[in-house]
């Protein structure tokens, strides 16, 4: 009898669920499966599983938008429309031998222009999974704008993160970069690393410090390091990553060997040339994490369960919004740099107040820190022997001390990529042009 009651309730749930979820979804397309489960239980005193909620949402979406499979037929048309309506846009797709959708790559013309004119030559690459009916992955390349904000450059929709998909994405990305040398910050996904080696060569690939620390922490645990010692070892990994010279790197490596021989060996076996400033052959701008890419994944969160056409149209609207906002923000700058860079300068100037200095020429100085350690600063071509200025683009505290009485403006000494960018926008105009 009890079983019968359960079955009757289940049938009741199935009958009611379709109309109920359609109604809920119609009024609020951000409705999550969990919300459907909760509201349904509240209305009908019948509990649904998460999967039932998810299916109900998918059916509601299909009822409102049509079957998700039909959206793939519109991809070629929408790619053409993007290319025709937004100059210099790259929007291409591929299909299987049976004519089914396979891959999509999009990079808008104004994003490309803005990246080349106003962003540092460093890109964060990442992937996130899509949660709609056909699942799949979104691959992305994001840059830092002049004020350290997110700058979306390109994305792809693919079936998975396999070798073929990453390779295809990277080949298209290289077209967008138009021969510009860039640093690619990534996690250690094998397909991604293999693709970078094939398309860009491996040297420009910097490994995300966050992922590296996670791998190191797992290894340290396997060697019996408990919480406090593991924390101390992780601090040394940070010191190794931010070390700017071979001498400093080896100093910290000796300390790690002293703590545990296996940990020192792990560092040597894990290619420091991809994650330590001391050996990485390009300027990393001290951007050692892919968190910008993860920020992009959060940014597209509301699009992740939509069909591909809704994703594409939603994405173009979001990028339009972000580029217009950046354009407006740059026009309101009261200084030659943005507020985040100004904050970094102010911090360094504060530290510099305790330093002594003496000029050796109109543009060269010796600066002494509070421990009387000596640093050689050259205003032309913007270098300090601590190497921090060259790495980050912002004058270090030693340089700030030297610049203060030099007659130069501090803003002339900031790397040009950090000041007055000319970011593109979806109308193709530049800041300062009349709208
Ligand atoms: Zn310095």
Using the predicted structure, report yes or no on whether residue 36 has a pLDDT greater than 90.
Answer: no
Interval between CA 384 and ligand 1 midpoint (Å): 5
Q: How confident is the model at residue 155 (pLDDT cuts 50, 70, 90)?
A: very high
Spacing, Cα 242 to ligand 1 middle (Å): 14
Provide the terminal-to-terminal Cα distance of the chain, rounded to the nearest Å.
Answer: 73
- Do 78 and 186 sit in the same domain of this protein? yes
Q: Are residues 29 and 14 in the same domain?
A: yes
Distance (Å) from CA 160 to ligand 1 centroid: 45
Same domain, yes or no, for 37 and 113? Answer: no
Look at residue 396 in the predicted model and tell me its pLDDT.
Answer: 95
Query: Domain for residue 388, yes or no?
Result: yes
The pLDDT of residue 109: 95
pLDDT in tens, 181-204: 999 999 999 999 999 999 999 899
CA pair distance 168, 152, nearest whole angstrom: 18
State in Å: Cα 397 to ligand 1 middle: 6
Is 423 among the domain residues?
Answer: no
- Are 21 and 50 found together in one domain? yes
Domain count, the chain: 4
Residues 106 and 228 in one domain: no
239 lies in the same domain as 93: no
Is residue 394 in a domain?
A: yes
The answer to whether residue 282 is domain-embedded is no
Instruction: Give the Å distances, CA to CA, from 39 to 19, 23, 32, 55, 356.
Output: 13, 12, 11, 15, 68
- Ligand 1: distance of its center to the CA of 401 in Å? 10
146 lies in the same domain as 15: no
The alpha carbon of 240 and the centre of ligand 1 are apart by a number of angstroms equal to 18
Q: What whole-number distance in Å separates Cα of residue 279 and Cα of residue 265?
A: 17
Per-residue pLDDT averaged across 216-235, rounded?
89
Please report the pLDDT score of residue 428 as a whole number.
45
pLDDT, one tens digit per residue, over 383-402 is 999 999 988 899 999 999 99
Where does the pLDDT of residue 427 fall: very low under 50, low under 70, confident under 90, or very high at 90 and above? very low
- pLDDT band at residue 292 using 50, 70 and 90 as cut-offs: low
* pLDDT tens-digit map of 363-384: 999 999 999 999 999 998 899 9
Does 425 reside within a domain?
Answer: no
- State the pLDDT at residue 433: 43
User: Ligand 1: distance of its center to the CA of 330 in Å?
Assistant: 29
The whole-number pLDDT of residue 25 equals 52
Give distance in angstroms: CA of 390 to centre of ligand 1: 9
Taking the centre of ligand 1 as the mean of its atom positions, its distance from the CA of residue 90, in whole angstroms, is 42
Chain-centroid distance of CA 262 in Å reads: 32
Asked if 178 and 280 touch (Cβ cutoff 8 Å), the reply is no
Kindly report the pTM of this predicted structure.
0.80
For helices 33-44 and 50-65, give the axis angle rounded to 10 degrees.
Answer: 100
CB 151 within 8 A of CB 90: no
Say whether pLDDT at 288 is over 70.
Answer: yes
Residue 23, in any domain of the structure: yes
Which pairing describes strands 122-129 and 183-186: parallel, antiparallel, or unpaired? parallel
Ligand 1 centroid vs 382 CA: distance in angstroms?
Answer: 10
Measured in Å, residue 367 CA sits from the centre of ligand 1 at: 9
pLDDT at residue number 81: 95
Ligand 1 centroid to Cα of residue 371, in Å, is 14
Sheet holding 374-378, edge to edge: 356-361, 364-368, 374-378, 383-384
Listed in sequence order, the residues at least 6 apart from 284 whose beta carbon sits closer than 8 Å to its beta carbon are 122, 183, 185, 206, 277, 391
Q: What confidence tier does 435 reach under pLDDT thresholds 50, 70, 90?
A: very low
Adjacency order of strands within the sheet including 183-186: 90-95, 101-107, 150-158, 137-144, 122-129, 183-186, 205-207
Between the CA of 375 and the centroid of ligand 1 the distance, in Å, is: 6
Higher-confidence position of 244 and 51:
244
Q: Please check whether residue 431 lies inside any domain of the structure.
A: no
Q: In this structure, are 311 and 346 located in the same domain?
A: no
Q: Are residues 300 and 268 in the same domain?
A: no
pLDDT at 19: 57
How far is the centre of ligand 1, averaged over its atoms, from the C-alpha of 148 (Å)? 21
Q: How far is the CA of 376 from the centre of ligand 1 (A)?
A: 8
Does one domain contain both 107 and 177? yes
Query: What spacing in Å lies between the alpha carbon of 315 and ligand 1's midpoint?
Result: 42
- 163 and 262, same structural domain? no
Q: Give the tens place of pLDDT for each residue, 64-87.
A: 666 666 777 889 999 999 999 999
In a domain, 47, yes or no: yes
Q: How far is the CA of 247 from the centre of ligand 1 (A)?
A: 16
Q: Which of 14, 47, 65 is the last residue of a domain?
A: 65
138: left (phi over 0), alpha (psi -120 to 50) or beta: beta
* 74-79 contact pairs (CB < 8 A, 24+): 74/309, 75/101, 75/104, 75/308, 75/309, 75/312, 78/309, 78/312, 78/313, 79/104, 79/106
C-alpha span between 390 and 384 (Å, rounded):
7
Q: Are residues 216 and 360 located together in one domain of the fold?
A: no
pLDDT (tens digit per residue) in 297-313: 777 777 877 888 889 99
Residue 352 is part of which domain span? 339-418
Does the structure show a pLDDT above 70 at 100? Answer: yes
* Residue scoring higher pLDDT (40 or 288): 288
pLDDT of residue 406: 87
CB hemisphere CA count around 190 (13 angstroms): 1
Is pLDDT above 90 for 9?
A: no
290 CA to centre of ligand 1 in angstroms: 26
Mean pLDDT of the chain: 85
């Amino acid at each position: 009898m009890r079983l019968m009651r359960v079955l009757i309730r289940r049938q009741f749930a199935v009958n009611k669920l379709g109309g109920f979820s359609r109604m809920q979804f119609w009024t609020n397309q951000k409705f999550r499966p969990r919300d459907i489960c909760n509201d349904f239980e509240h209305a009908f005193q019948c509990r649904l599983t998460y999967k039932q909620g998810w299916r109900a949402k998918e059916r509601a979406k299909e009822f409102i938008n049509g079957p998700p499979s039909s959206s793939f037929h519109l991809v070629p048309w929408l790619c053409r429309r993007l290319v025709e309506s937004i100059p210099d846009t790259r929007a291409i797709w591929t299909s299987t031998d049976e004519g089914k959708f396979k891959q999509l790559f999009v990079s808008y013309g104004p994003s490309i222009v803005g990246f080349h004119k106003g962003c540092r030559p460093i890109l964060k690459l990442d992937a996130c999974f899509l949660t709609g009916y056909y699942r799949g992955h979104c691959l992305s390349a994001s840059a830092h704008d002049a004020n350290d904000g997110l700058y979306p450059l390109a994305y792809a929709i693919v079936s998975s993160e396999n070798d073929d998909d990453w390779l295809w994405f990277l080949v298209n990305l290289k077209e967008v970069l138009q021969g510009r040398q860039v640093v690619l910050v990534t996690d250690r996904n094998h397909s991604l690393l293999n693709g970078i080696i094939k398309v860009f060569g491996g040297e420009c690939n910097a490994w995300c410090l966050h992922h590296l620390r996670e791998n190191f922490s797992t290894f340290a645990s396997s060697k019996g390091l408990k919480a406090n010692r593991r924390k101390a070892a992780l601090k040394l990994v940070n010191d190794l990553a931010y070390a700017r010279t071979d001498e400093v790197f080896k100093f910290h490596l000796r300390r790690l060997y002293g703590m545990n021989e296996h940990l020192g060996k792990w560092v040597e076996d894990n290619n420091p040339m991809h994650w330590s400033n001391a050996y990485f052959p390009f300027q990393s701008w001290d951007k050692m994490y892919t968190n910008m890419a993860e920020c992009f994944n959060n940014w597209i969160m509301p699009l992740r369960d939509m069909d591909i056409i809704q994703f594409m149209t939603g994405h173009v609207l979001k990028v339009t919004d972000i580029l217009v906002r950046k354009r407006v923000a740059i026009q309101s700058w009261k200084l030659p740099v943005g507020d985040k860079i100004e904050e970094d300068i102010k911090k360094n100037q504060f530290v510099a107040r305790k330093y002594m200095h003496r000029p050796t020429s109109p543009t060269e100085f010796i600066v002494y820190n509070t421990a009387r350690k000596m640093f050689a600063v050259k205003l032309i071509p913007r270098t300090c022997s601590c190497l921090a200025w060259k790495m980050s683009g912002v004058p270090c505290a030693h340089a700030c001390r030297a610049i203060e009485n030099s007659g130069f403006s501090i803003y002339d000494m900031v790397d040009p990529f950090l000041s007055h960018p000319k970011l593109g926008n979806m109308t193709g105009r530049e800041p300062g042009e009349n709208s």
